[in-house]
A and B are shown apart, each in its own frame.
Chain A
Amino acid sequence: MKNRLLWPLLALAALLLLNLIVTPSFFSLRMQDGALYGGLVDVLKNGAPTLLIALGMTLVIATRGIDLSVGAVAAIAGAVTCVHIGTSGSAGTAIAGMAIALVLCAVLGLWNGFLVAGLGIQPIIATLVLMTAGRGVAMLVTEGQIVTVNNTAYKQVGAGFLVLPISILISLLVLGLVAFVTRKTALGMLIEAVGVNPEASRLAGVRSRTIIWTVYVFAAVCAGIAGLMISSNVSAADANNAGLWIEMDAILAVVIGGTSLAGGRYSLTGTLLGALIIQTLTTTVYTIGVAPEVTLVFKAVVVIAVCLVQAPKARAALSFRKVAVPS
């Protein structure tokens, strides 16, 4: 367990060190109007949506599934809320809009769960349907426009501060809840059992289908909240670009954190580290002054490096070499 988290931890430490060398002020924090500012806080704030989606993704991947539709679901959540708010500035409208959006996301999650658990379609393909159609639906909701809102209550979700950014507090709260519910009860073990062998766990009395439905609904709701953060942060809903590629970042965070795509085991701490690594990497590229688009190259290198380090075959090759050198 410790061994699995060692590499991600080292990677994160190395990235932070690099930041410290390039921008010595990176670690400095300052209080202003009851809010904390600084490089580290930025990382947390911008990484909150990715972390949230990655949490949902972790459980889905633990059941040997994958959810490609989270980016589209995030876009739909933002679109629905912004269209509902419209020109209103009242907190009630904002809360109602967010509630409608999250219920809708839960329904979308039910849909994914139905395709995977009900019809038995491969998760990649089942969620590909919503990934493709979902952005179309989001554009349908916004009628192809970028909908802007001016609502202080809504703005709090993505851009507000309660000493720390509210968005990261929400993500950490969800992380704590998931950790509690899955690790303090048998749920986590059941999820892993489904990931190892759905049929065998069903025969052993685990309600595999219900568990699969549950994780997809959870992933969709997480994606919905993340979508609210993204849209609230800029006070607008962009059906085309909100949450674009975030499913890839989330999957990446999960994999970097040591959760195997083959299912059967997962690490929430690992996912937290993974999400932080990705966001720190993105921030680092900005601070170093490389074109932000080039971040993709670094991400690719990190994915391959982490995957190689974690792959059993590569490990075997490495340890073999260690033995071979002295002889």
Chain B
Amino acid sequence: MTTLAPRVPSRFLPVLATVALFVLAFGVGSARYDGFASGQVIANLFIDNAFLIVLAAGMTFVILSGGIDLSVGSVVALSTMVTASGLQAGWPVPLVVVAVLLIGSTLGLLMGLVIHKFDIQPFIVTLAGMFLARGLCFVISVESVSIKDRTFRDVATAAIELPGGVTITYNVVIALLVVAAAMYVLHRTRFGRTVYAVGGSESSALLMGLPTTRVKVGVYVISGLCSSLAGLLFSLYMLSGYGLHAVGMELDAIAAVVIGGTLLAGGVGYVLGGLAGVLVLGTIQTLISFQGTLSSWWTKIVIGVLLLVFIAVQRTMVRR
């Protein structure tokens, strides 16, 4: 390692490694299976994982600030439940959307305030949030509630035609807009800069006079908002609300963010890394379903191995 030259790319190296992995996985799929290398398969990656992309974007904020949010999966479930039962009760769609987003961000705000004001570990507070949100689902209803609202179904099934005969859903558009917004906030605003500073060293950030309170609480509000939005996307995808939706999705989101090169210690990472991580996870799932002979539980094992490889690589990079 001579001169400063390797330092600039080393910042982007983890993200590039993830993108390379995605290309590699996709290349392997295209070489082995007919019909894998089509635009629609790529589009389906986005369609099937739109909610996860949004979750990963929110999770990136929290992890960058040095925290963790275990409640996201449950908030997704709660959002589907509120959406489904709200629509069943005859609420207009805009009201449902606003209510869901409000609930999600309020939960995030409460967790953030408890974490910051009382100095309790984010892990345990968001664990409580996870229990609370899941429990609230069952307070609303223990059964699965299907969504029959016409407007909602129309949006869910509407296909947007792209050049080349590829179709995507509105979910994908929303997810990509969220990624763009997250990138803007994180990389182009003072708030985003402070998130990195707090993740790098909270006491230094405080001594520099940065508004750490606002950031430490803010990231959980953002994560809550993203989770509830992901919940709306998930309701569009599943067209039902159920308390057992999205069980363990928080782990997928964390895995995607970590595979995307974000350091769990905080301070290092990019929103695009999370997107790349989700695409890698999605490609693995697609590969396994194309293979046909492999059972679905291989997905879990492969994700675990990938997580391991990436954190081990991160570890050696940080040591250097």
Collect the chain B residues with CB atoms within 8 Å of residue A124's CB: 68, 123, 264
How many Å lie between the Cα of A190 and that of B173 in the bound state?
55
On whether the beta carbons of A304 and B123 are closer than 8 Å, the reply is no
In the complex, per-residue mask of A139-172: 1 if CB is within 8 Å of any chain B CB, else 0: 1100110000000000000000000000000000
Residue of B nearest to A297 (CB): B135
Measured between alpha carbons, how far is A304 from B117 in the docked complex, in Å?
A: 13
The answer, yes or no, to whether B125 is at the interface (CB within 8 Å) is yes
User: Among B54-62, B94-102, B216-224, B293-301, which stretch is in contact with chain A?
Assistant: B293-301
Chain B residue contacts of A132, Cβ below 8 A: 251, 255, 300, 303-304, 307
* A293/B142 contact (C-beta < 8 A), A125-B258, A130-B304, A303-B124 known: yes
Q: Given the known A-B contacts A125-B264, A293-B243, A297-B132, are A308 and B307 also in contact in the complex, defined by CB atoms under 8 Å?
A: no
Which single member of B118, B124, B299 contacts A261 (CB below 8 Å)? B124
Q: How many A-B residue pairs have CB under 8 A?
A: 129
Complex Cα distance A313/B123, Å? 17
Q: Which of B118, B136, B305 has most chain A Cβ within 10 Å? A: B118
B119–A313 contact, CB under 8 A? yes
B93 in contact (CB, < 8 A): no
Stretch among B12-20, B154-162, B228-236, B308-316 lining the A interface: B308-316
Q: How far is the CB of B49 from chain A (nearest CB, A)?
A: 17
* B36 at the A interface (CB under 8 A): no
By the criterion CB–CB under 8 Å, are B132 and A296 in contact?
yes
Would you call A307 an interface residue if the criterion is a C-beta within 8 Å of the partner chain's C-beta atoms? yes
B252 nearest CB neighbor, chain A only = A132
A298 interface residue, CB < 8 Å from B? yes
* Binary interface encoding of chain A residues 109-149 relative to chain B, with 1 for a CB under 8 A from any of its CBs, else 0: 00000010001111011101111111111011001100000
A298→B135 contact, CB < 8 A: yes
Question: Which of A191-199, A212-220, A247-255 lies on the face that meets chain B?
Answer: A247-255
- Which of B121, B128, B255, B297 meets A300, CB within 8 Å? B128
Interface flags, B106-131, vs A, CB<8A=1, else 0: 00000000100111110111011111
Q: Are B298 and A136 in contact (CB under 8 A)?
A: yes
Q: Considering the chains assembled together, what is the distance between the CA atoms of A297 and B123 in angstroms? A: 17
Residues of B within 8 Å of A252, CB to CB, are: 127
Tell me the minimal C-beta distance from B299 to chain A in angstroms. Answer: 7
Name the residue on B nearest A261 (C-beta): B121
Q: How far is the CA of A294 from the CA of B142 in the complex (A)?
A: 9
C-alpha gap A312/B298 in the complex (Å): 45
Scan residues 207-263 of chain B and give those whose CB is less than 8 A from a CB of chain A.
243, 251, 254-255, 258
CB nearest neighbor in A for B114: A304
A261 to B119, CA, bound (A): 12
Return chain B residues, CB-CB under 8 Å to A255: 124
The answer for the CA separation of A293 and B315 in the assembled complex, in Å, is 40
Complex interface residues of chain A between 267 and 299 (CB less than 8 A to chain B): 291, 293-299
Is the beta-carbon distance between A126 and B135 smaller than 8 angstroms? no
A314 beta carbon closer than 8 Å to chain B: yes
Collect the chain A residues with CB atoms within 8 Å of residue B114's CB.
Answer: 304, 307-308
Most chain A CB inside 10 Å of its own CB: which residue of B68, B130, B255, B297:
B297
Cβ–Cβ contact A291 & B128, under 8 A = no
B304 x A129 contact (CB < 8 A): yes
Q: What is the distance, in angstroms, from B140's C-beta to the closest C-beta of chain A?
A: 10
Q: Which of A128, A130, A261, A295 contacts B135 (CB 8 A)?
A: A295
Interchain CB contact under 8 A, B135 and A294: yes
| CB closest chain-A residue, reference B70 | A248
Task: Identify which of A131, A291, A307 gathers the most chain B CB atoms within 10 Å of its CB.
Answer: A307
Q: Is the CB of A261 within 8 A of B139?
A: no
Task: Check B307 against A129 for contact (C-beta < 8 Å).
Answer: yes
Compute how far the CA of A129 lies from the CA of B138 in the bound complex, rounded to whole angstroms: 30
| Given A132-B307, A135-B300, A137-B301: A248 in contact with B132 (beta carbons within 8 A) | no
Q: Cβ of A304: which chain B residues have Cβ within 8 Å of it?
A: 114, 125, 128
> Closest approach, in angstroms, between the C-beta of B17 and any C-beta of chain A?
17
Q: Does B177 contact A (CB under 8 A)?
A: no
Which partner residue on chain B sits nearest A298 by CB separation? B135
Give the chain A neighbours of B129 by CB distance below 8 A.
300
Query: Taking the complex as formed, is A262 at the interface, i.e. its CB lies under 8 A from any CB of chain B?
Result: yes
Q: How far is the CA of A292 from the CA of B303 in the complex (A)?
A: 32
List the A side residues contacting B299 at CB < 8 Å: 136
Among A119, A297, A311, the residue within 8 A (CB) of B139 is A297
- A66 on interface, CB distance cutoff 8 Å: yes
B300→A251 contact, CB < 8 A? no
User: In whole Å, how far is A64's beta carbon from the nearest beta carbon of chain B?
Assistant: 11
- For B139, list chain A residues within 8 Å (CB): 294, 297
Residue in B closest to A240 when the chains form the complex, CB atoms = B297
A136-B299, A304-B128 given; A262·B121 CB < 8 A:
yes
Q: Quick one: which of A130, A296, A313 has the most chain B CB within 10 A?
A: A296
The one of B118, B137, B311 in contact with A311, judged by C-beta atoms closer than 8 angstroms, is B118
B23 on interface, CB distance cutoff 8 Å: no
Q: Is B185 an interface residue, CB under 8 A from the partner?
A: no
State whether A144 touches B311 (Cβ < 8 A).
no
User: What's the minimum C-beta distance from A70 to chain B, rounded to whole angstroms?
Assistant: 14
Which A residues are CB-close (under 8 A) to B135? 293-300
Which 5 pairs show the lowest CB-CB distances between chains A and B? Answer: A133-B304, A297-B135, A136-B300, A296-B135, A300-B132
Since A119-B312, A124-B123 are in contact, a sample of 16 more A-B pairs with Cβ atoms closer than 8 Å, ordered by chain A residue number, is A115-B308, A121-B315, A122-B264, A125-B307, A133-B301, A140-B298, A144-B297, A239-B297, A251-B127, A293-B135, A294-B135, A299-B128, A304-B125, A307-B124, A307-B125, A312-B119
Residue contacts A-B, CB under 8 angstroms, 5 given: A140-B297, A293-B138, A304-B125, A307-B120, A313-B118
Residues of chain B having any CB pair with chain A under 8 Å: 68, 114, 117-121, 123-125, 127-132, 134-139, 142, 243, 251, 254-255, 258, 264-265, 295, 297-301, 303-305, 307-308, 311-312, 315, 319
